[in-house]
Structure 1
Amino acid sequence: MHAIEVEGLTKTVGDDRQLFAQLAMTIEAGELVAITGESGIGKSTLLNILAGLDDADSGDVRIEGTALAPLDEAARTRLRRERIGFVFQAFHILPYLTLEQNVALPLALIAPDAAAAKVRAGEMLAEVGLATRGRDYARDLSGGELQRVAIARALVHRPAVILADEPTGNLDPDTAARILDLFARAVRSRGAAAVIVTHSAATAAVADRVLTLTSSGLVAASRAATVAGG
């Protein structure tokens, strides 16, 4: 069973503008795949479809064998909470919660064991190098520290799938390189399947595979190629 399986995915927007058609791919547990492509081609839309946040016009997406299309919104929400972790460019960390509280949020949505969630959040903060910062407030952190918290939050509930949308787009190159290395090691150590949508060649370079999204599907990309913007 593949961690992520996509078959025959087609998506149009607006006045019947086709983003992509008959898109197909499989991603295995423990594999990190980067998806690149021109601005406006639909990279973020594809990520939203993989998460069950948007619908394709046709085709199938399966997460660990579970097809998304037949699920109602409540079932999709449960699947996201239990099996998917998200890392966003804008972090989406709540500034007036502590780091520990931010990281524990996914666990609170799954099970109400506050004590266990606190322990697990502390473990994840230690893993991303913030062991002593659990009681600090997110509003006091740098961009690199915020992204470390975002990675800890995405992984805390041990999801099977990690989806990342331009996860280092707001960071300087040196900080971005450190965060990418941390992200890749954390994902692989858990055997999760990860998809990174990016316009950055440096970000794509950490992946096991790089795929370029085009209007006719996904094609293998050269690691040495310059990645188009957006």
Structure 2
Amino acid sequence: MSLFSWLRPTTPVLGAEQQLRLQRLPVVTELNECSLREQRWVVLDLETTGLNLNKDRVLSIGAVVIEDGAIDFSQQFERTLQCTDLKLAPSVLIHGLGPSAIAAGSDPVQALLEFMEFVGDSPLLAFHAPFDQHMLGRALKDHLGFKLQHAFLDVAAMAPLLCPQASLREAGLDDWINWFKLEVFERHNASADALATAELALILFSRARQQQIHSPLYLQQRLSQWKRRQQAPSF
């Protein structure tokens, strides 16, 4: 064996049926100019072993669908992923996923395949989306050899863009829930947080339409412009 062979990423070994399902996933296209209401959105939340982008792993996936301008409760997704050699981090005190729940979870390959079939070609929404995008992308690459190419829009950036009067800087999901006076009865598990994010997103879509932002593509462009302004040095 080569001295440096351990540096090379290993290619996941999938069964024939899994390979076929992977190949049948739809080709993802860029966001278009359909209306925000017409677009099917998948609202995602992940629970992970920690916040290290390179070392920590996905423990659970929760997702709901926004379609026809409302949360479609007939389309929900929730999986806990089996995770071997897991060292419990302080985050377990928040999301409550202990060793027994993780041991009884789904095989990661099967769970991730099912999730991508659930997503289809829909764009994804998440609160602090760059973290979820990176962690999901790494899990898909590690377990399926699959490259995530879906559009990800960050609800944490949408909120201050569309509601500057709130004067909430670097606010968390709870801050925006409180500002909009949303009634959220459960938090800090993937499904509950995805639902809370979806409720917030629906309010923000309404604010977007009031500001003449009518399409997913235009919303994405406005978010990119807003982020560049936030990152620009002030003199």
TM-score (norm 2): 0.28
Looking at secondary structure, tell me which structure has more strand per residue.
1
Highest CA radius of gyration, 1 or 2? Answer: 2
TM-score (norm 1): 0.29
Looking at secondary structure, tell me which structure has more helix per residue.
2
